[in-house]
Amino acid sequence: MEHENHKHQEHAVLADAFNQNEPRVDWHDETLWWVRQKRDRMAWSIPEWEELREAASQIKHNVLGNMHDYLLEFEKNAIANGAVVHWAADAAEHNKIVLQLLQEQGVKRMVKSKSMLTEECHLNPYLAEHGIEVIDTDLGERIVQLAKEPPSHIVLPCIHKKKEEIGDLFHEHLGTPAGNADPKFLTAAARQHLRKEFIQSRVAITGVNFAVAETGEMVVCTNEGNADMGAHLADVHIACMGIEKLIPQRKHLGVFLRLLARSATGQPITTYSSHFRKPKEGQQLHIVLVDNGRSRQLGREDFRNSLKCIRCGACMNTCPVYRRSGGHSYHNAIAGPIGSILAPNLDMKDYADLPFASTLCGSCSNVCPVKIDIHQQLYKWRQVITKEGYTKKTKAAGMHAMNIVLSKPGLYKTAGGVGRWVMRTFPAVVNNGMNPWYKQREMPAPPKESFADWYKKNRK
C-alpha cells in the first residue's frame, strides 16, 4: 500500500500506464477541470482576489522569515492553554511520539481526520506494524484506505475512483448491496460505519490547517465535520502539524480562510473551520510539531517559499499533466506541481523525475493562492538535480552532444544540412519505433533549404 523505501517506477512510466485507458484519462481530466472552473468562478466573485493572494503570500513570507520566534510564541501560548507540545525532527520521531501516546492510552484502534502530514510520515503503516489500526474518517480517505491505496490528491483523495468502484469497495468492506453506486446511499452507509468508530475511539488524530502563534490555537478545515467528531468524542486529541502551518495572528485567518476553499474546491468556505484552543475538562490535547526536512527547505533560498503552501490542491486541478497522469504517477504523498517541488527536498534521488514531469506551462503559479513560483522552482530543481548527478547518463550524453553542435555555427550548419538530407532520403532512420516522437506523431517534413540558406540567396 505505501510507497516508502522500495523502488518505484518513474512518473513517465506510470503516466504511460495511466494513458492506456484513454476514456478514463478524459474522465479524470474533465472531472478536475470542472473543479478548476468552479475555482475560477469563485475567484471572480471577489474583486480583490489578486490582492488577497498577494497579502497571503506576504504574511507567509513574514512567517518564513521569523519561523523561530513564531514557533516559540505558539508553543508558549499552546502550553498556557493546557496543551502538551511535542517536537519531532523527522517522520520517524513523529511516528514514535504518536505511538507512545497511543500506547500510554492502551488503544488498538483509533480515528484520524485528514492529515497530509501523517501521509508524508507514513504513520498508518507504522502504527499497523505496532498493532494499532487507524480509521481514516474523511470519506475520500476512508475510500482509498479500504482500497489499500494512497490518496491521489491532497484535497480529493479518491478523485481517481469512479462511483461504481466505490460501490464495489463498500459492498466488499461495509456490506452495502452489490451494484449500488448511488453516491447518496454510499455516503449514508459510510456515515453509519464511521459513527461507530467515532463513538468507540478514545484517541483522535487530526491535521492542522493553520496554527495561530498569537493565541496558541489551531484551525482545522473540513467539509464533513469529521475532525470535530473525532476530537470532541475522544479523551485524547493529537494534532499533527508541519512547522510551516503557522500564521502570526488570528486576524490573518480572514485572508487564508477566504482563499483556501475557493482555491481548493470552489466553495466560499469549508463547511467547518474548527478552532481548537484548550482541551476540555478531563481531555488531553497534544500538538506534534514536525520538521521533517522543512528547515532544510527553508535554508534553500530558491525553494524556500514552497513552504508557503496551504495544501489547497489548486495547482493539481489546473495542471494539464496531473489531470492526464493521475496522482499516483507522482509516487509521493503530495502529487502534482507542488509535490514535485517539495519531494526532491525529502529525497533528491528518489524524486529526481518529478521536476521533469511538467511542461513548465506556469498555470500552477497563477492559481496558487499564496503565489508560490512553482514552475520556476521546477526549472531550478532540474538544474540542481542535474548538477547533483541524478540525471540519466544517456540524457546527459545527448545534452553534451547538443551543446557541442549548437556552440559551433559551422558544425550546426553541416549537421542540420546532413540531418535534413538523411530524413528526406532515408526517412526510416527517424520514422521508427525507437523514436518516441514518431510513435503517435509524424516528423516535420525536412525542407531542402534552411532559412539561413534562403537568406544568403535572397538578401545578401
- Grid cell in block for residue 97: 511520539
DSSP secondary structure string for all residues of 107-158: -SEEEE---HHHHHTTHHHHHHHTT-EEEE-SHHHHHHHHTT---SSSSSTT
Binding residue (CB under 8 A) for another protein from 6, 7, 148, 439: 439
Instruction: Please state the closest distance from residue 342 (CB atom) to another protein, in A.
Output: 18
Instruction: Assess contact for 144 and 151: CB atoms under 8 A.
Output: yes
DSSP secondary structure string for all residues of 5-71: SS----HHHHHHHHTTSHHHHHHHHHHHHHHHHHHHHHHHT-TTHHHHHHHHHHHHHHHHHTHHHHH
d(CA 53, CA 326): 27
Instruction: Please state the closest distance from residue 437 (CB atom) to another protein, in A.
Output: 6
d(CA 210, CA 239): 11
Question: Angle at which helices 336-346 and 374-387 pack, to 10 degrees?
Answer: 30
Residue among 6 and 387 whose Cβ is closer to another protein:
387
Instruction: Assess contact for 220 and 237: CB atoms under 8 A.
Output: no
Binders of another protein among 42-101, rule CB under 8 A?
43-44, 46-47, 49-50
Per CB under 8 A, the segment of 74-82, 133-141, 229-237, 375-383 that binds another protein is 375-383
Residue among 7 and 387 whose Cβ is closer to another protein:
387
Helix%, strand%, coil% for the chain, nearest 5: 55, 10, 35
Binding residue (CB under 8 A) for another protein from 87, 185, 272, 412: 412
d(CA 245, CA 307): 9
Instruction: Please state the closest distance from residue 58 (CB atom) to another protein, in A.
Output: 18
31 binds another protein (CB under 8 A): no
Instruction: Please state the closest distance from residue 48 (CB atom) to another protein, in A.
Output: 9
Residue among 171 and 324 whose Cβ is closer to another protein:
324
Instruction: Assess contact for 339 and 332: CB atoms under 8 A.
Output: yes
Residue among 82 and 446 whose Cβ is closer to another protein:
446
393 binds another protein (CB under 8 A): no
The closest alpha carbon to 272, from 174, 179, 206, 173, belongs to 206
301 binds another protein (CB under 8 A): no
Residue among 72 and 404 whose Cβ is closer to another protein:
404
Binding residue (CB under 8 A) for another protein from 138, 363, 370, 374: 363
443 binds another protein (CB under 8 A): yes
Binders of another protein among 164-193, rule CB under 8 A?
none
Instruction: Please state the closest distance from residue 256 (CB atom) to another protein, in A.
Output: 17
Per CB under 8 A, the segment of 69-77, 112-120, 340-348, 438-446 that binds another protein is 438-446
Q: Which residues of 91-122 are buried (b: 16+ CB within 10 A; e: fewer)?
A: bebbbebbbebbeebebebbbbbbbbbbbbbb
Residue among 117 and 367 whose Cβ is closer to another protein:
367
The closest alpha carbon to 195, from 219, 215, 177, 174, belongs to 174
16 binds another protein (CB under 8 A): yes
β-bridge pairing 217-222 and 272-276: antiparallel
Query: Distances in Å between the alpha carbon of 217 and those of 35, 260, 394?
Result: 31, 18, 52
Binding residue (CB under 8 A) for another protein from 397, 406, 422, 429: 406
Per CB under 8 A, the segment of 99-107, 182-190, 212-220, 398-406 that binds another protein is 398-406
385 binds another protein (CB under 8 A): yes
Instruction: Assess contact for 128 and 122: CB atoms under 8 A.
Output: no
419 binds another protein (CB under 8 A): yes
121 binds another protein (CB under 8 A): no
- Grid cell in block for residue 310: 496551504
386 binds another protein (CB under 8 A): yes
Binders of another protein among 136-155, rule CB under 8 A?
none
Q: Which neighbouring-strand residues pair with 247?
A: 212
Instruction: Please state the closest distance from residue 165 (CB atom) to another protein, in A.
Output: 22
Binders of another protein among 267-286, rule CB under 8 A?
none
| 227 CB burial (10 A radius; 0-12, 13-18, 19+) | buried
The closest alpha carbon to 245, from 299, 213, 295, 209, belongs to 209
Neighbours of 233 (CB within 10 A): 16
Binders of another protein among 315-354, rule CB under 8 A?
318, 320-321, 324-325
379 binds another protein (CB under 8 A): yes
437 binds another protein (CB under 8 A): yes
Binding residue (CB under 8 A) for another protein from 80, 92, 128, 396: 396
400 binds another protein (CB under 8 A): yes
Q: Say how many residues touch another protein, by CB under 8 A.
A: 75
Per CB under 8 A, the segment of 105-113, 211-219, 336-344, 450-458 that binds another protein is 450-458
Q: For 387, phi and psi rounded to 5 degrees?
A: -65, -35
Residue among 3 and 420 whose Cβ is closer to another protein:
420
